[in-house]
Structures are given as C-alpha cells and as structure tokens.
A = this chain, B = another copy of it.
Amino acid sequence: MTYCVAMLLDAGLVFLSDSRTSAGVDQISTFRKTTVFERPGERVIVLQSSGNLAITQGAINLLAERLGNQESGADNLHTCRNMFEVARCVGEAVREMHLRDGEPLRQQGVEFNASFIVGGQIDGEPPRLFNVYAAGNFIEATPDTTYFQIGESKYGKPIIDRVTRRSMPLSEAAKCALISMDSTIRSNLSVGPPLDLVIVRRDECRVASHVDIDADNRYFQMIRNGWGEALREAFSALPNPDWVGLR
C-alpha cells in the first residue's frame, strides 16, 4: 500500500507521500510516489500516486513522453492552460493505461486500481488540487476542502480533520502531514519511509522545498517521539470515567 496526503492552503500546497510498495509482506520495495513537472516561475505540477504500481508508473511515463512531443497538437503537462486541463490529461493517461492493461488484468483477477492526487499552480490561476480516480474522472478541492488523501488514508485522517484550516502556515501543515504519516506508519506495516515532502508557496509557480525524509531524519524522529509522548500526556491528563466501576 501507500499513503499520500496533499493540502491546499491559503499560503500554497503541501504534499507528503511514503515510498513503500508491497505485493505481499515478503515483497516490499521502495518506489517514490511523488513526481514533479515544473517550469519554474510559470507552472509547477505535483503528482502523487497510489494503487497498482505498473499502472501508475505507466501513466506517469505516458505523461512524461508527451512533454517532448509538442508538435502533435495534443495538450501535455507543459502546455495545458490551467490545472483543470492538467487533471484531465492525467485522467486521460489513466484511461490509456486501462485500454492497454485493463482486460489482461481482469483476466488475471487483478483489479484496475490506481489513483492520483494532482496539485500545483499555473501562472494566472490560484493553486488548485485534484483527486483523479481509476476511471480517469476527478474532483477538485473547494474552499471547504483542505486536503485529499489516497492509499491507506484512515489511520492518519483524525489528526488532519482536527487541526487543518486553510489559513495555517505551510510549515505547520507540513508538521500535520508528518504526524498523520507517523500515525499511519505505526499502525500499518505497508506504509514506510523514506518520505517525499514537497512544498509549493502560493504564486511562486515553483517547488519551494522538496525534502527526502528517511528514518534517520532528526525532525521526523522528533515528531515520532514527541507526538507519541504528547499523546500519552494528553491521555493521562483527561480524567478517567470513574462511574464505570459502578454497576
């Protein structure tokens, strides 16, 4: 499995993904789930992927191939006029993978399972964030939506639900994403470091920061220890329900 989360904030975008791919517990590998397409100052597009690795790698490969083929007249991620068109391009790539692999996978009893988070900014638009499904259709984050998750999303959802708001600073959102990831890693073997953290500041149209966080990363270790400790303290500070001892 995989866990990816992306947040859309007033100040920009934060993306965090793990890198664990498992086909059974004895076949665990490291594959990055984050891909950046960037023309610094003009556009920045960040893709996170979850699901069947052959499908998601294939779709990203199709998208990358098309960058060099600008004469065909078809849009690619460097020529799309807005992020909606970018999400459409990603959806089209997923549909092309379905045309290629869908039926053979079905014959093997394998689900066509792939999803993408697509976020970024193209000059002239505000930052935007999309969730692209296996059918190639997609939804966009609205002012009421601060985040999208794909993959093993449930363990790390409660903390995001409680603390995120559109106005939070990017570094605080990154902290929230890392705590959410830590909760997921602790409770699910199929999610693990190294992590990819990408920060995009609003109106810069470039990656502000792309950090590779491995298990030895000092800040992530502080989060791991500090958050667990803080949770245990918060837990101790709440009174026990003494009434349950009564019949």
By a beta-carbon cutoff of 8 Å, the part of chain A in contact with chain B is: 152, 154-159, 161-163, 169-172, 174-176, 178-179, 183-184, 186-188, 197, 199, 207-209, 211, 219, 222-223, 226-228, 230-235, 237-247
From residue A220, how far is it (CB to closest CB) to chain B in Å?
9
Residues of B within 8 A of A155 (CB): 154-155, 157-158
From residue A174, how far is it (CB to closest CB) to chain B in Å?
5
A244: contacting residue among B199, B235, B247, CB under 8 A: B199
New A-B pairs, 5, CB < 8 Å, besides A154-B155, A197-B244, A209-B243: A154-B187, A163-B232, A171-B242, A171-B244, A211-B244
Looking at chain A's contact residues, is the secondary structure mostly helix, strand, loop, or mixed?
Answer: helix
Question: What separation, in Å, do the CA atoms of A171 and B169 have in the docked complex?
Answer: 39
Closest 9 CB pairs of A and B: A154-B154, A230-B234, A171-B240, A158-B183, A157-B187, A209-B244, A174-B244, A219-B241, A163-B235
